[in-house]
Amino acid sequence: MKRMLKNGALILLVLVFQASLSAKKPQKSNVTKNKVDLIIRGGTVITMNQDREIIHDGSIAITNGRIIAVGHVEDRYQASQTIDAKNKVILPGLINGHGHAPMVFFRGLADGLALHDWLHDYIFPTEKQNVTADFVYWGTKLACLEMLQSGVTAFAAEYYFANSVAQAVSELGMRVVVGQPVMDFATPDSATSEEGFLLVEALVKKWQGNDFVYPAISPHAPYTASVATLQKANEVSKQHIIPFMIHLSESPAEKGKGAAYLDSLGILSDRIIAAHVVHPTSEDIGLLQKYGVGVVHCPVSNMKLSSGISPVTRMLEEGVAVGLGTDGAASNNALDMMAEMKTAALLQKVLGKPTNLSAMQVLELATIGGARAIHKEKDLGSIEVGKRADLIMVTMDSIHQIPVYNVVSQLVYASKASDIQTVVVNGKVLMKNRIFASDIDEGMVRKKAGEFKKKIKASIRSAAQKSNLK
């Protein structure tokens, strides 16, 4: 009897031991996880969706270049590639709504000048002597690398040889709304406006429907395009359903040539992207809102050229779609969207109210507001299911960011371009830990920039131009 009890106790002990081992073994889940291309996990996700939702310790699932889940997704998805975003903020890619990308090769060419002196006495003559398709291609590549390092995933560019801009951007895997200029005088790529229109047709034929390049027409400004050219540009824009890009009310010298002027010509529409809009009248602002015109604010360029302060706060209050842009590096002299955000916020406060343009409003200008301004809000500007997977990761560990109380305020007022760690466009990692993807040849871009600098310096003849290169 004692032996039976002893054996029974022993068996019980064995069973308990086996049960404990079983409990420690991970149980197989019956849930099958869906496979995706990329998961970004563990960061603070600032969605910029309609509710401006912020998700802490959030993650994003991406496949085929689009966002398919946002929140806490790892219990439902597994990825072939995962990026850890711990201690980082995940944002929609920034949108630089206005610029002239290849003009990085003219960075610092002419400082201390008003807009029209700078443009007609320095920029137009220097462009005539130097701008070629090759110049545009390599200048765009340099501009793209600079913008990637400041968190830009999509931008708008108006420049000659627009096809070369498109080619450079598509090779790098960024996005661009690219406008082919059409002017009433000879330009580096066309002798007449009619030749300019032919270039627009060629641009549309090659790129319309592309996921990365969105062709547009750019008659530059009311002071460089006649009524006939502006109206024909509008017809081409309407025919092909492409954006119509124009500089508008940039300086006091353009009085009477704002939105009301375009309306009198019958060309205001929701296809227009209007850059600067520094001096709109009350009537202009009402028309911009009525027609759904996108406006792009370029604070640093406007300040540098002494063009004035755009009434951004008022335009937002009136319901105008406003985005943010750097303009070209020749009048900025950088393509740093992080710096542009801070400047935009501070500049509106100079007008008298510290409540003008909050940090969240500024972030909107650079993301979802920027997407609206370039008429791409259905695909870009926020982290939402179905949208393009264009995202950036910003470290919050830098000395100049510590401590963090309000993450949006920190991004606008304290963060710098150097805090951008990772950039993803269409689900592809173009920069990780500030190192460009292996298929981006930074060395060649640097080499070409040096070669073009020598050519530009050699082309400058006048004493006034030379004095600006010292």
- Give the pLDDT of the chain (470 residues) as one tens digit per residue: 444 444 444 444 443 344 444 444 444 445 578 999 999 999 999 999 999 999 999 999 999 999 999 998 888 999 989 999 999 999 999 999 999 999 999 998 877 777 778 777 888 888 888 999 999 999 999 999 999 999 999 999 999 999 999 999 999 999 999 999 999 999 999 999 999 999 999 999 999 999 999 999 999 999 999 999 999 999 999 999 999 999 999 999 888 999 999 999 999 999 999 999 999 999 999 999 999 999 999 999 999 999 999 999 999 999 999 999 999 998 999 999 999 999 999 999 997 789 999 999 999 999 999 999 999 999 999 999 999 999 999 999 999 999 999 999 999 999 999 999 999 999 999 999 999 999 999 999 999 999 999 999 888 765 445 545 54
Got the DSSP string for 299-363? HHHHHHTT-----HHHHHHTT-EEEE----GGGTS---HHHHHHHHHHHHHHTT-TTSS-HHHHH
Angle, CA of 172, 178 and 183, to the nearest 5°: 145
Dist. CA 366–CA 341, nearest whole Å? 7
Dist. CA 321–CA 374, nearest whole Å? 9
User: What is residue 31's predicted lDDT score, i.e. its pLDDT?
Assistant: 58
User: What is residue 75's predicted lDDT score, i.e. its pLDDT?
Assistant: 85
Dist. CA 298–CA 220, nearest whole Å? 16
User: What is residue 133's predicted lDDT score, i.e. its pLDDT?
Assistant: 97
Which has the closest alpha carbon to 268: 230, 314, 224? 230
Burial class (CB in 10 A: 0-12, 13-18, 19+), 438: exposed
Q: For the chain, first and last CA: distance in Å?
A: 108
Dist. CA 300–CA 339, nearest whole Å? 9
Give the tokens for residue 375: 């008429």
Query: What ranges in 414-470 are assigned the alpha helix state H?
Result: 442-459, 463-467
Which residues does residue 158 pair with via DSSP β-bridges, in sequence order?
A: 179
Are the beta carbons of 67 and 90 closer than 8 angstroms? Answer: no
User: What is residue 10's predicted lDDT score, i.e. its pLDDT?
Assistant: 45
Burial class (CB in 10 A: 0-12, 13-18, 19+), 37: middle
Dist. CA 4–CA 116, nearest whole Å? 107
Dist. CA 60–CA 424, nearest whole Å? 12
Angle between helices 337-350 and 359-366 (to 10 degrees): 130
